[in-house]
Amino acid sequence: MIPRLGVNIDHVATIRNARGSQYPDPVHAAKLAVSAGADGITAHLREDRRHISDADIESLLKSLTVPLNLEIAATDEMLQIALKARPHAACIVPEKREERTTEGGLDAAGLYDDLAPFIRKLRDNGSRVSLFIEADYKQIDAALTLGAPVVELHTGAYADAFYAGEFAKSEALLEQLNKAASYGAERGLEIHAGHGLTFETVTPVAAIEQVSELNIGHFLISDAIFSGLHGSVSRMKELIALARADGAE
Ligand code: PXP
């Protein structure tokens, strides 16, 4: 089965928030992603609201025709929001205020007491819960004990090693992802993967037989600059020229 693609639209909101403007609209981006074949939309509502806002989540829930995967930290505030929003999926991620992005996976094993009621409430409320973890048997065992039906394996270290030119390391991390995927799937978990994936790094991860969903964001929004900037500049030139054309006001 071909893995589903969840498109993470956080960084459309990052660009919007950099200027406090109304554009670019992450909901518009989500719709465009869906029209291009995205199977789902992923958004991370961070505690500091640095990109996606509460209003974005509301608009996404109202207008999406595909499942929303809401990424949240395991805090009381996020639990209340997710219980009210009732997204198709809730992915629990570790969150540190000072980090640039989600660095490393959740310590599902170490946070058992906090996570167990959190996961139970979300599941009882109808959301499919996933835990964003490192490709580590101990964390997979913890996800099983916690009753999470899905784990998302963090591919960030693999992708970083690839771009650092540390190919032996990236191969070893890929092997770890492969092993963790089969270990988890054999025990009944649904396996997802994501973080830092690009056109150059996605193929071996998408090829892992047990992976049924990939969540990709930062690279897609970055690449869209290069696939879209030409048209945007041409359109601006056109409008400027039209303003001076005969008959223009
Ligand atoms: N999966 C999870 C759980 C994430 O937290 C993120 C980043 O928000 C992604 C996937 C997507 O990562 P990237 O934006 O690097 O593609």
pLDDT digits (tens, 9 = 90+) for 160-175: 999 999 999 999 999 9
Taking the CA of residue 219 as reference, the ligand 1 atom at the shortest distance is 16
Give residue for tokens 């090693």: 161
Q: Taking the CA atoms of the chain, what radius of gyration do you get in angstroms?
A: 20
For 119-134, the pLDDT digits (tens) are 999 999 999 999 999 9
CB of 158 sitting under 6 A from ligand 1: no
Parent domain of 179: 4-248
pLDDT tier, 246 (very low <50, low <70, confident <90, very high otherwise): confident
CA of 215 to the centre of ligand 1 (A): 6
Q: What is the mean pLDDT of residues 5-15?
A: 98
Count of structural domains within the chain: 1
* Most informative mutation of 46, 47, 102 for ligand 1 (most atoms within 8 A of CB): 102
Centroid of ligand 1 to alpha carbon of 236 (angstroms): 33
CATH number of the domain enclosing 61 = 3.20.20.70
How many Å apart are CA 8 and CA 40, to the nearest integer? Answer: 9
Which residue has the CA at smallest separation from atom 12 of ligand 1? 195
Does 107 have pLDDT greater than 80?
yes
- Is any ligand 1 atom within 6 A of the Cβ of residue 9? no
- Which of 64-68, 92-96, 180-184, 200-204 is predicted least confidently? 92-96
Q: What are the tens digits of pLDDT across the range 218-233?
A: 999 999 999 999 999 9
For the CA of 91, the nearest atom of ligand 1: 3
